[in-house]
Amino acid sequence: MLRQIWSYVETAALVLLIALFAAMIGTCSAQVIWRYLFSDPLIWSEELARYLFIWIGFLSSWLAWKHRAHIALDAVTMLSGPRIRAFSQRLVEAIILAFCLYTLPSSLTVVDLTHAQPSAVLELPMSVVYASFTVMIVLIAVDIVVGWVSPAPAAATHVEA
């Protein structure tokens, strides 16, 4: 049940990531069109594209974590047996979870402090931008906890030739 609920959250985050990419592409395309075709650059597009890129970066970090695609020391997992591999994976997860929990209060403080600060052009609350880090660490932390509490079913073993 928990894993199913978490899969809905993951799907929503992936949909958001795709929407952010589409919005950034649209924003950058509009900037080019207005600048070169109409000789009238948009004043808001650079700021919006930057903020969308920040969100994309942090959500992509969570996605990389979800698929364990971050840079890692392959020697530990390739040269060791299953027990050491499982132990090292849990150790890394515990360290990452500790980092997430350690930075969460500070992140929430920054989001709270910047809520009344508007951005230069769009006048968005800067908390919207800074919340991207908070969302990332919450997604990573919950992903780790869900994996510990409700492990995924074992995949079929695949042997490559």
Residue 19 domain-assigned (yes or no)? yes
Report the mean per-residue pLDDT for the chain. 91
Residues 130-142: pLDDT tens digits? 999 999 999 999 9
How far is 75 from 88, CA to CA, in rounded Å?
11
Q: Is the pLDDT of residue 100 over 90?
A: yes
pTM listed for this prediction? 0.88
pLDDT of residue 55: 98
Q: Which residues contact 139 (CB under 8 A, 6 or more apart)?
A: 9, 13, 59, 62
Residue 161 domain-assigned (yes or no)? no
Residue 157 domain-assigned (yes or no)? no
Q: Is the pLDDT of residue 81 over 90?
A: no
Residue 50 domain-assigned (yes or no)? yes
Residue 83 domain-assigned (yes or no)? yes
Work out how many domains the chain is built from and give that number. Answer: 1
Residues 44-66: pLDDT tens digits? 999 999 999 999 999 999 999 99
Q: Looking at per-residue confidence, does 88 or 108 come out higher?
A: 108
Residue 63 domain-assigned (yes or no)? yes
Domain region containing 24: 2-149
Q: Is the dihedral of CA 140, 144, 145, 151 positive or negative?
A: positive
pLDDT of residue 128: 98
Residue 155 domain-assigned (yes or no)? no
Q: Is the pLDDT of residue 107 over 50?
A: yes
